[in-house]
């Protein structure tokens, strides 16, 4: 039988799909995924063992793979991700102790933790700090007006490989926000999917990552069988029809790169910001009002296709901090206040032209991908070949102009292509993590065998490192009452 989400009377004025779905059974909550159903059942059983009673809710938020559009969301441009089956799941209930008790199913890798519901500090990158980002984001959402939050007993389970570029950390923030909202507030006062996504994108910055919102948007807006092009300001999703007979295969380099723990990611954010500000200054604009490359394009009134030419006024060599200060006519201290962040205030050298060039060309690839995929003309093989070429171009730009790949990723992408992928590229922040490849379904087994033999040393690695996937559903909640 088809799973039927439960929606509340107060929402009848809006479409049901505007709100995260609420299910009444774990079977329906699993939405056709047998591996997830078994995980959720084990999670509930473990919760009863740990806390001596049943959870009120179980929530999930999926990981994602970005098909094309890497490192462009924080510059204001559209992305093209899809949700995957792997997710973060949290079982929870309210307690009367004004404390959050954190436990993880994988207790050997992740430590337990307890903190008060008020006065806690997010000062690290442990798994529970990401939960606290979502928790804090909900508490600070004025529309909800929660006031003093209740205590919570939490048990988490994750099937997304950590630090693999599949958005495990953002999925945890989103899942935490969802359970916090439901435990603390009447159901009819909850937020729309888009509101949750915007709130969670803002909340993850509490941990120091200057993300752009893609991961949180697809976590809530995903639908089975559909990739999404996601536009920002305002948040707008649109469907992308993938060619029939083709799947995406995820392959993990097994090189972990935590974008919040290292400064590489935030350095790219700052380089894009400075590229926009330097060009704005050169073009006579009020550069202090420009924070993103998209804002630069808007201020200049130029089409995206012309922006790569416009930024040719930037030097091809890296800019020193002093040179940027000279161009913007500010002191080093003023530059830090205007343009840098806590994690990047020590930077002394900035690549501007290469970073901006990648963003504008990658943003154009997103629109091209959607146009080709949704076109009614052309055969599936011809469409897939065109999409694959865009993925190849994307990886070349990520590796070269954006310098966010690594030797293992480049080697894995090359292996995927030689093993029959129509296109292959890094996905996620980079500097490790995963590649995504477009593969004909009839050749998938052959492809998987070739990649397994060419990259991985043991069968144990393959269980979570190499798998085919199709677009899955977004965040949801199961009411266990």
Task: Please state, in angstroms and as integers, the Cα–Cα distance from residue 6 to each residue in 20, 22, 144, 273, following that order.
Answer: 10, 5, 21, 43
Alpha-helical segments (H) within 14-145: 26-29, 34-51, 127-139
What is the average per-residue pLDDT within 67-86?
Answer: 97
Residue 187 has a pLDDT of 62
Cα-to-chain-centroid distance, residue 53: 33
Using alpha carbons only, give the angle 98, 101, 105 rounded to the nearest 5 degrees.
160
Contact between 59 and 44 under an 8 Å Cβ cutoff? The reply is no
Q: Which residues, 6 or more positions from 235, have their beta carbon under 8 angstroms from its beta carbon?
A: 194, 197, 198, 213, 217, 221
Is the pLDDT assigned to residue 310 strictly greater than 80?
yes
What is the average per-residue pLDDT within 313-320?
Answer: 98
Residue 283 has a pLDDT of 97
Cα-to-chain-centroid distance, residue 274: 24
What is the average per-residue pLDDT within 153-173?
Answer: 93
Burial class (CB in 10 A: 0-12, 13-18, 19+), 83: buried
Omega before 117 cis (within 30°)?
no
Using alpha carbons only, give the angle 16, 22, 26 rounded to the nearest 5 degrees.
140
Q: Residue 308 and residue 361: Cα distance in Å, rounded? A: 7
Nearest to 429 by CA among 227, 255, 273: 255
Backbone angles phi, psi at 349, to 5 degrees: -135, 140
Residue 258 has a pLDDT of 58
Query: pLDDT tens, 396-406?
Result: 999 999 999 99
Nearest to 406 by CA among 433, 431, 384, 437: 431
- What is the band of 188 on the pLDDT scale with cuts at 50, 70, 90? low
Q: SS3 of 77, please?
A: coil
Backbone angles phi, psi at 299, to 5 degrees: -65, -35
Q: Which residues, 6 or more positions from 145, have their beta carbon under 8 angstroms from its beta carbon?
A: none
Both tokens of residue 120? 């806690």
Q: Is 157 among the catalytic positions? A: no
pTM for this predicted structure: 0.91
Q: Residue 265 and residue 170: Cα distance in Å, rounded? A: 15
Both tokens of residue 342? 């806590």
- What is the band of 165 on the pLDDT scale with cuts at 50, 70, 90? confident
Q: Which residues of 460-474 are buried (b: 16+ CB within 10 A; e: fewer)?
A: eebeebbbebbbbbb
- What is the band of 261 on the pLDDT scale with cuts at 50, 70, 90? very low
Query: pLDDT tens, 432-473?
Result: 999 999 999 999 999 999 999 999 987 667 877 999 998 999
Percent of the chain with pLDDT over 70: 94
Nearest to 447 by CA among 365, 388, 374, 401: 388
Both tokens of residue 108? 């050997």
What is the bridge-based pairing of β-strands 466-469 and 319-320? unpaired
Q: Residue 51 and residue 56: Cα distance in Å, rounded? A: 12
> Which of 49-63, 120-134, 174-188, 355-369 has the lowest average pLDDT?
174-188
Contact between 275 and 315 under an 8 Å Cβ cutoff? The reply is no
Is the pLDDT assigned to residue 9 strictly greater than 50?
no
Using alpha carbons only, give the angle 18, 23, 25 rounded to the nearest 5 degrees.
170
- What is the band of 139 on the pLDDT scale with cuts at 50, 70, 90? very high
Among all chains, which residue has been given the structure tokens 């997010």? 122
Backbone angles phi, psi at 329, to 5 degrees: 60, 50
What is the average per-residue pLDDT within 287-294?
Answer: 98
Burial class (CB in 10 A: 0-12, 13-18, 19+), 249: buried
Residue 7 has a pLDDT of 28
Backbone angles phi, psi at 4, to 5 degrees: -120, 110
Across-strand partners of 80? 68
Nearest to 431 by CA among 413, 464, 409, 411: 409
Residue 260 has a pLDDT of 46
Q: Mean pLDDT for the chain?
A: 92
Query: pLDDT tens, 230-244?
Result: 999 889 999 999 999
Residue 78 has a pLDDT of 97
Residue 8 has a pLDDT of 28
Query: pLDDT tens, 189-231?
Result: 678 999 999 999 999 999 988 888 999 999 999 999 999 999 9
Write down the catalytic residue from 28, 215, 357, 392.
215
Residue 262 has a pLDDT of 64
- What is the band of 327 on the pLDDT scale with cuts at 50, 70, 90? very high
Q: Which residues of 84-101 are buried (b: 16+ CB within 10 A; e: fewer)?
A: bbbbbbbbbbebeeeebb
């Amino acid at each position: 039988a088809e799973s039927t989400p439960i929606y509340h009377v107060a929402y009848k004025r809006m479409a049901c799909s505007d709100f995260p779905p609420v299910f009444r059974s774990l079977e329906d909550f699993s939405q056709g995924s047998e591996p997830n159903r078994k995980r959720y059942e084990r999670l509930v059983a473990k919760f009863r063992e740990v806390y001596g009673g049943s959870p009120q809710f179980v929530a999930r938020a999926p990981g994602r793979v970005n098909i094309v559009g890497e490192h462009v969301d924080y510059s204001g441009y559209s992305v093209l991700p899809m949700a995957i089956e792997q997710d973060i799941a949290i079982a929870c209930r309210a307690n009367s102790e004004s404390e959050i008790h954190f436990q993880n199913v994988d207790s050997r890798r992740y430590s337990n933790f307890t903190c008060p519901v008020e006065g806690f500090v997010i000062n690290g990158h442990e798994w529970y700090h990401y939960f606290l980002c979502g928790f804090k984001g909900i508490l600070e959402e004025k529309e909800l007006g929660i006031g003093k939050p209740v205590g919570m007993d939490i048990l988490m389970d994750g099937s997304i490989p950590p630090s693999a570029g599949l958005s495990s950390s953002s999925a945890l923030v989103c899942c935490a926000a969802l359970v916090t909202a439901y435990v603390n507030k009447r159901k009819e006062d909850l937020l729309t999917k888009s509101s949750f996504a915007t709130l969670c994108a803002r909340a993850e910055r509490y941990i120091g990552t200057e993300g752009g919102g893609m991961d949180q948007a697809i976590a809530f807006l995903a639908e089975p069988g559909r990739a999404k092009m996601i536009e920002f300001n305002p948040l707008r999703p649109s469907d992308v029809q993938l060619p029939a007979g083709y799947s995406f295969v995820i392959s993990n380099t097994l090189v972990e790169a935590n974008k919040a723990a290292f400064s590489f990611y935030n350095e790219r954010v700052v380089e894009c910001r400075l590229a926009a500000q330097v060009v704005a200054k050169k073009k006579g604009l009020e550069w202090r009002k420009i924070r993103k490359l998209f804002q630069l394009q808007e201020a200049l009134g130029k089409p995206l296709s012309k922006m790569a030419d416009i930024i040719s006024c930037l030097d091809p060599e890296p800019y020193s901090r002093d040179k940027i200060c000279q161009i913007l006519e500010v002191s080093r201290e003023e530059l830090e206040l205007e343009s840098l962040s806590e994690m990047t205030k020590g930077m002394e050298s900035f690549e501007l032209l290469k970073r901006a060039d990648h963003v504008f060309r990658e943003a154009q690839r997103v629109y091209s991908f959607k146009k080709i995929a949704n076109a009614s003309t052309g055969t599936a093989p011809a469409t897939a070949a065109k999409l694959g070429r865009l993925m190849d171009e994307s990886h070349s730009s990520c590796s070269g102009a954006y310098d966010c790949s690594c030797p293992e990723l480049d080697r894995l992408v090359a292996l995927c292509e030689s093993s029959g992928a129509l296109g292959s590229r890094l996905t996620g922040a980079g500097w490790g993590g995963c590649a995504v490849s477009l593969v004909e379904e009839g050749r998938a087994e052959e492809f998987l065998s070739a990649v397994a033999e060419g990259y991985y040393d043991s069968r144990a690695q393959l269980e979570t490192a190499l798998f085919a996937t199709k677009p899955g559903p977004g965040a949801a909640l199961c009411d266990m009452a």
